[in-house]
Amino acid sequence: MAAALAHEARLNRPSADGKGTVRDHLLRAARSRTPWARAKATRDLAGPEFPESMEYLEDLVRQLHGRSGISTHGIVPATWASIDAMARRLNVDLRPHEVQALFRLDGVMLNPPAEEH
């Protein structure tokens, strides 16, 4: 679950050339005339799937991420208050393990681990 979200977060980072995101760069490369560049970009775009049974958490963390505010260091991590407010507004009854999962998933989105090769 976290691996799929980390992969998405890495794709959403700014690209090294400053022209869009890593995803934008890879999508351009996937349209390349060079077969090896297309193949590598296609591999790099593909990532782990989010488990179907946990898709509701993926949707919730995407709605939650970045809603706790912005500081001089960037996006503020999810807070108890932001999760509580989201759950009340969406009329979602979260169990304790789901709240913990949202904290962890938000943390992965904030600081995705380095890509493994």
From first to last of its 117 residues, the chain has per-residue pLDDT tens of 778 888 888 888 888 888 888 889 999 989 988 888 889 999 999 988 878 888 888 889 888 887 776 767 777 889 999 999 999 999 999 999 999 999 998 988 888 777 654
| Residue 79 backbone phi and psi in degrees, to 5 | -120, 165
Contact present, 101 and 83 (Cβ < 8 Å): no
Show me where the domains of the chain are located: 2-45, 52-110
Integer Cα distance of 36 and 52 in angstroms:
32
Q: Please give the pLDDT value at position 115.
A: 64
Integer Cα distance of 83 and 80 in angstroms:
5
Q: Please give the pLDDT value at position 117.
A: 47
Q: What is the pTM of this model?
A: 0.67
Integer Cα distance of 82 and 64 in angstroms:
7
Integer Cα distance of 81 and 109 in angstroms:
19
